[in-house]
Structure 1
Amino acid sequence: MQRRQWLAAAAALTATTAAPWVRAQALEKTKVTIAVGGKNLFYYLPLTIAEQLGYFKAEGLDVNIVDFAGGARALQAVVGGSADVVSGAFEHTVNMQAKGQPMRAFVLQGLAPQIVLGVNPRTLPNFQSIADLKGRKIGVTAPGSSTHIMLNFVLAKAGLKPSDVSVIGVGASNGAVAAMRSGQIDAISNLDPVITLLQRSGDLRVVVDTRKPAEAERVFGGPMPAGCLYAPVPFVERYPNTVQALTNAIVRANKWIQQAGPGDIIKVVPESYLLGDRAVYIDGFLAAKPALSPDGVIPPKGPETALRALASVDDKLAAAKLDLTATYTNTFVQKANAKYPKG
């Protein structure tokens, strides 16, 4: 009898001590919808790698990735409730806090924006400075997206207002390439592989290139975190284990990319990403690789840089009192790197 009582007590103790650990590891939400604006871009390569190599599934997640024409539309999907998480530009977290809809970034995909501003050599053969863009048509992935925000920032530094140019959404794929080649737009703010494709065919003259982290810091005056996973603050706080699983997958993808060669990337990404030219895609990857995060860590000074860029074209944002520390967390990334030190 005493033995049975002792065994029962031991089992009860094990249950009470083990249950919290089990609950802590269990995913609160296994099905997650991620909205992204231009999934084929190198800007979002870690997302594709995590999906294609099964890193999300390895964490117990059933992830549905929905692609949109630009980051602004991906954000709208989360605000509207049709998606849970955004894979998009970090600066949206700053913008949304100012609008009273706080978002929090929890893992970085890009160290630098990777956005290139270039002019059309056919319609602007005598281009000399940013001032020459006044009155011109400029293509961005989508109005309000990170490509639009960077364009506005560069214009502001040159003394131009957003209203001094005509902005046209051209997407992040073949449509953007066609718009430049046909002369529909005089300049473009876009990313790879679109940029490399246009460069190789002689349809683009690069003016600002933030694929290079050093140039990005020079342009923005500090570290400018780019692609990341972010979500409404209530989502992050309500589903911490799910957020941790998402972070784990992206950190593994980040590390895999740093060790990968062009041939490895070609084998993993969908054929449609190549835009019909593998050589161009390889060149684009080599150009973008230095701007991709090696470990998912968000630079602490990044939010300040993002706010400066946004405030340069938005007086209301410049006057707003924001808690920039609430726009991101590195807690999940630290745990992910401890779990996957080598990817």
Structure 2
Amino acid sequence: MPASLTRRSFHVLAAASGVALVAVPALRAQPKLEKPRLSIAVGGKAAFYYLPLTIAEQLGYFRDEGLSVEIADFAGGARALQAVVGGSADVCSGAFEHTINLQAKSQLFQSFVLQGRAPQIAMGVSTRNLPQYQGVADLRGKRIGVSAPGSSTNMVANLVLSRAGLKAADVSYVGVGVAAGALTALRSGQIDAISNTDPVMTMLEQKGDVKIISDTRTLKGTQEVFGGPMPAACLYAPAEFVQKNPNTCQALAHAIVHALKWLQTAGPGDIIKAVPEAYLLGDRALYLASFDKVRESISPDGLVPAEGPKTALNAIASFDTQVKPERIDLDKLYTNDFARRAKDRFKA
């Protein structure tokens, strides 16, 4: 073999080696997921309350981040929380206020990306069972349907009752879910009032089945009920999980914020194509009407508003004597670090 060819081969190999040496650090810079396979527990996935989670799943955003996510759907947020506390799920897609209730019991859980900036929960009374309804006091001794006892729908109902001088013990709570079962329970007369999310509440409202007495489906309504911004659906997990799996939590935040970004410009047709047919509850037009009503309550960027945790704490402490505000460390309830990086990446 000629010497010149040998030298040329050497230089080609050297150049190739140089490229390899440059490329390897770049590959190593990609964060390794500590837990690429994980489970998320959610209470009532069909509700608009958790629409960002559904969009992230349906459009493959979790997969794009290298995650294999199993979503376990429960009847309500309280049951989803139990799954995470019990260890059968890694992360909860649930109400922000659950982190407060948990910390009050000396269990540190942390929210790391927000899905909703308003609870999207409305409370209404049955026009069939309570046609002469005059005020909240009329609910004494009545049956109130909630997604599940201990859920955020239960929390809103407790708040409405407490402001009228009633206690949770003055009524009977019935778990009805957030889909067809909730519609049936109200329309068949099994419950006298209902605290629930959309699309259920809009469907009942537009058919004249309920009279709305409290509404947090809009930012204005949320301000009136809670007196400030109220963080709602979020991804939260044990603080230890967040600390040990930062890359995994970042990937989850990326997927959710990607979904939030998509929802900012999605049209009715896009929504219909993205969600499972069963979510429409047999009425596409009413489903879309419901979406229009709650659209502004979906977080635009995944960030928990600065005053949000305090608003949530004040609301819960107003009716739950076990929650002592002075013992709650608001800064430990959440972190915006992951959502902020996701916001920057997706320009949300």
User: What TM-score does the superposition give when structure 2 sets the normalisation length?
Assistant: 0.92
Out of 216, 219, 222, the position equivalent to 1:210 is: 216
1:194 corresponding residue in structure 2: 200
Encode CA deviations 1:230-269: one digit per residue, 9 max, x unaligned: 0000010000000000000000101111101111100110
Deviations 1:181-216 (A, max 9, x none): 011111000011111111222111111110011111
Amino acid corresponding to residue 18 of structure 1 in structure 2: P
1:221 aligned partner: 227
Query: Residue 324 of structure 2: SS of its match in structure 1?
Result: helix
Shift of 1:316: 2.4
The answer to whether the 8 Å contact 2:46/2:279 transfers is yes
Aligned to 1:135: 141
What's the CA shift for 1:300?
1.4
Pairing 1:250–2:252 present: no
Aligned residue type for 1:151: A
Q: Which has the larger radius of gyration?
A: 2
**1:162 and 2:176 aligned:** no
What is the identity percentage for the equivalent residue pairs of Structure 1 and Structure 2? 59
Q: Residue 152 of structure 1 corresponds to which residue in structure 2?
A: 158
Matched, 1:18 2:25: yes
SS in 1 for 2:148: coil
Deviations 1:6-38 (A, max 9, x none): x8xx98xx69x938x826611111001000000
- 1-structure distance, mates of 2:174, 2:70: 29
Alignment of 1:62-101 (within 5 A): 62-101=68-107
How far did residue 319 of structure 1 move? 5.6
Asked if the contact 2:261–2:346 (Cα under 8 Å) also holds between the matched residues in 1, the reply is no
Question: Partners of 1:134 and 1:183 in 2: how far apart?
Answer: 17
How many residue pairs were aligned? 334
Secondary structure (helix, strand or coil) at the match of 1:25 reads coil
Give the partner amino acid of 1:30.
Answer: P
The corresponding residue for 1:181 is 187
CA distance in structure 1 between the partners assigned to 2:325 and 2:290 by the alignment: 39
RMSD of aligned alpha carbons: 2.0
Which residue pairs with 2:4 in the alignment? none
Task: Classify the secondary structure of the residue corresponding to 1:167.
Answer: strand
Q: Does the CA-based 8 Å contact 2:50-2:115 persist in structure 1?
A: yes
Q: Aligned partner of 2:260: which letter?
A: N
Return the alpha-carbon distance in structure 2 between the equivalents of residues 195 and 22 of structure 1: 49
Query: Which consecutive residues of structure 2, in runs of 5 or more, have no partner in the other structure?
Result: 1-9
* Letter in structure 2 aligned against 1:290: E
User: Whole-Å Cα distance in 2 between the matches of residues 169 and 230 of structure 1?
Assistant: 23
For the 8 Å contact 1:24–1:241, the answer to whether it is kept is no
Q: In the alignment, which residue of structure 1 is the partner of 2:340?
A: 334
Residue of structure 2 in register with 1:32 after alignment? 38
AA matched with 2:25: A
Question: Does residue 1:284 correspond to 2:290, yes or no?
Answer: yes
Q: CA deviation at 1:329?
A: 0.6
1:261 aligns with 2:267: yes
Partner of 2:115: 109
2:109 maps to amino acid: M
1:265 counterpart letter in structure 2: I
In structure 1, C-alpha distance between the alignment counterparts of 2:113 and 2:220, rounded to whole Å: 21
Structure 2 contact 42–72 (Cα < 8 Å) conserved: yes
The unaligned stretches of length 5 or more in structure 1 are: none
Q: Secondary structure at the match of 1:63?
A: strand
> Deviation digits for residues 280-326 of structure 1, max 9, x if unmatched?
11111111101111111101111111111111122221365111111
Is contact 1:48-1:269 (8 Å) kept?
yes
Counterparts of 2:38 and 2:305 in 1: how far apart (Å)? 26
TM-score, normalised relative to structure 1: 0.93
Instruction: After the TM superposition, list the runs of 4 or more consecutive aligned residues in structure 1 that deviate by more than 6 angstroms.
Output: none
Please give the alpha-carbon distance, in whole angstroms, between the structure 2 residues aligned to 1:314 and 1:119: 23
Matched residue type, 1:281: Y
Distance 2:309 2:325 in 1: 16
The separation in 2 between residues aligned to 1:56 and 1:289, in whole angstroms, is 22
Shift of 1:79: 0.4
